[in-house]
Structure 1
Amino acid sequence: MEIKGEKFKVIVKTNSSKNEVVCYDEARKAYRINLKAKPIEGEANKELIKFLSREIKRKVRIVSGFRNKEKVIELF
């Protein structure tokens, strides 16, 4: 997964069989990501941060979209 810039958009699908980056959606300019976690009490957001940190090897945080499937992620 190669990231250009300090912020990027993701579209999350929860309750999947495994955590994975599926593809880059050119039309929406966002990465599609599947997560095992369910969207209950922020579990999917925690799993997303942990997963992306491991994939990118940098710290990340969610800037917007805490309760949506579309999120803006910031690298730091």
Structure 2
Amino acid sequence: MKKSVKVKPNAKTQSIAEMADGTLKVNLKSPPVDGKANKELIGLLAKKFNVTKSQVQIKSGLTSKTKLIEIIDD
């Protein structure tokens, strides 16, 4: 399953909201430095979709606020 994700780093609280077009809007506490926000994003999405962290991959947008995420479900 592939999802488009809009990320907001340095937010006060963590949250995930699904927008009308199916895009996920994710607020992260981590700053976008040294991949910290990406690691937090992967952990958060793994919890939400009940998969392991290794099943969540960032396909594009590693350094962008808009990312394409792939969730590999067995």
Shorter-chain TM-score range: 0.7 to 0.9
CA shift for structure 1 position 73: 0.4
Which residue number corresponds to residue 19 of structure 1?
14
> Runs of 4 or more off by more than 3 Å in structure 1?
none
Q: TM-score, normalised by structure 1?
A: 0.83
Distance between the aligned counterparts of 2:45 and 2:29, measured in 1? 13
Tell me the percent identity. 36
Give the structure 1 partner of residue 3 of structure 2. 8
> TM-score by structure 2 length?
0.85
The RMSD of aligned alpha carbons is 1.2
Runs (5+) with no aligned partner, structure 2:
none
Unaligned runs of 5+ in 1: 1-5
Task: Please list, as runs of the form range in 1=range in 2, the aligned pairs for 1:56-67 lying within 5 A after superposition.
Answer: 56-58=49-51, 59-67=55-63
- After superposition, the C-alpha distances for 1:15-41 in whole angstroms (9 at most, x for unaligned) are 011111134152xx5211100000001
How many positions carry a matched residue from both structures? 69
Is the Cα–Cα contact under 8 Å of residues 25 and 31 in structure 1 kept in the other structure?
no
Rounded to whole Å, the distance in 1 between the matches of 2:56 and 2:13 is 20
